[in-house]
Amino acid sequence: MKGIAYQQGVSTNTSQTENVDYTDPLADTTSCKRDIPFLQKLNTNTIRVYALDPTKNHDTCMNALADAGIYVIADLSQPGESINRDDAAWTTTLYARYTSVVDVMAKYDNTLGFFAGNEVSNQPNNTNASAFVKAAVRDMKSYIKSKNYRTIGVGYATNDDASIRENLANYFDCGDASDAIDFWGYNIYSWCGDSSFTKSGFDVRTKEFQNYNVPVFFAEYGCNTPRPRKFTEVGALYGNQMTGVWSGGIVYMYFEEENKFGLVSVDGSNVKTLDDFNNLSSQIAKVTPSGAKMADYNPTNTAGASCPAVNSDWAAKATPLPPVVNARACSCMMDSLSCVVASNVNEKDYGDLFGTVCGYSSGKFCGGIQKNATTGNYGAYGMCNSTEQLGFALNQYALANPSGGCDFKGSAVTKQAVKTQASDCKALMSQAGSAGTGTVTSAPTGTGAAATGAKSSGAGVALTVPTMETGLLQLGVYVLGAAFSGMAMILL
């Protein structure tokens, strides 16, 4: 993999919670065609894009990239719709977003893979968020299979944090192979200036992954201190010391922006190559990496990693993972409710309502929506959107308090519950249990989101769900800390 990160104006920080406008580089036909010759000058065979718009058509750019011998690895999230490390959840909202990207990209032969997350857990106190990312990996792998798409890998891109990097790599690779990552991307910036294989720590990282059983590569690299970058690490990455373990890497990044990592500066139709571009071009031209041919590929390191134990440095229990996202289960649950949140309640005020209802009776009304990755206690409806989760909690309180229990100062209203539910709803509700603390084992029957211009025969119907995910009940949010205490690639 000789790659370049290729997208303007998108922060790669997964904790970004606000929706922002961004330009989909694979839908910007003019810019794509403009830049391909420059990518070719760097011997590029892979680009990484961080946010795609699934409502747009990508045929022209993807076909042009294919003609140039360039593959695409795409992040499934977008700014404002990703797994937030500070309030992690894997929900129907995110599922719809992620599957919509899969739907529009699966038809292209040069779609190399998908990232289900990027640097979500970045220090010990937010490693619980990794459970929700791994659930996303599991569900996207299952979705690709259920849609009969060709096999496309789903992986994760991690930061290089010394306190958690080993646990992260082991966690995402351990357990059932159907839940584990298909590849591991490493964002690493430890080779700065005239460094070396040993001084940079590349030797230690290489040793750590020599028995890893899935492909590993640098999902981002290219320290920019000092600048211009000399890219002397290229010789090591594609040399004999590393190619037995690493499948190449992706330089961050193509476009010059305020962070000063660009290879080129762009002004309309004009592209100016910078010193970084010229230095990378010189270094990449020197390397001649060789990988195993498929016919000769007989790996002996086929076992997954050992799962890390929950301790002061790691907060995600290996099993169970958060529930499989099942939008039908959420809609069936909503049909069954006789008390729901009033339509005039602003979603910004949901937090107060969650705090109130979940604070009663040691949190028993919110057992069906809890999400405790540290203990592995998950409610069946913790994957529903925030309106559905709040409705469930309010209804549980109302059932226990039939005399005026559905009010909350006008924030909750009564409705007519569906008297005769569909047979699939009966099964799903039975599995979830009346308190919502059971496990829904039925496979989701919903599809991903269809996209304008996407000709993939498998594209499904769009899911309409709120984008607001406040109040999704991580332990420590509002009063639940007390309430639930004790539950708490083959080489290209």
Q: Which residues are catalytic?
A: 119, 220
- H/E/C letters for each residue in 439-452? CCCCCCCCCCCCCC
φ/ψ (deg, to 5) at 376 = 80, 20
φ/ψ (deg, to 5) at 265 = -110, 140
Report the alpha-carbon distance of residue 300 to residue 245 in Å, rounded: 13
The closest of 376, 375, 321, 325 to 175, measured between CA atoms, is 321
Task: State the amino acid at position 315 in one-letter form.
Answer: A
β-partners of residue 377 are 372
For 160-163, the CB contacts below 8 A with 24+ separation are 160/186, 160/187, 160/188, 160/189, 160/190, 161/122, 161/123, 163/123, 163/124, 163/313
How far CA 190 is from CA of 148, 245, 451, 459, in Å, comes to: 40, 18, 40, 41
Report the alpha-carbon distance of residue 333 to residue 392 in Å, rounded: 8
Is residue 369 packed enough to be buried (19+ CB in 10 Å), middle (13-18) or exposed (0-12)? buried
Q: Which two tokens stand for residue 274?
A: 């910078």
Task: State the amino acid at position 448 in one-letter form.
Answer: G
Evaluate the CA torsion angle 255, 206, 215, 131 in order and state its sign.
negative
Cis peptide before 468 (omega within 30 of 0): no
Report the alpha-carbon distance of residue 387 to residue 126 in Å, rounded: 25
Report the alpha-carbon distance of residue 296 to residue 491 in Å, rounded: 13
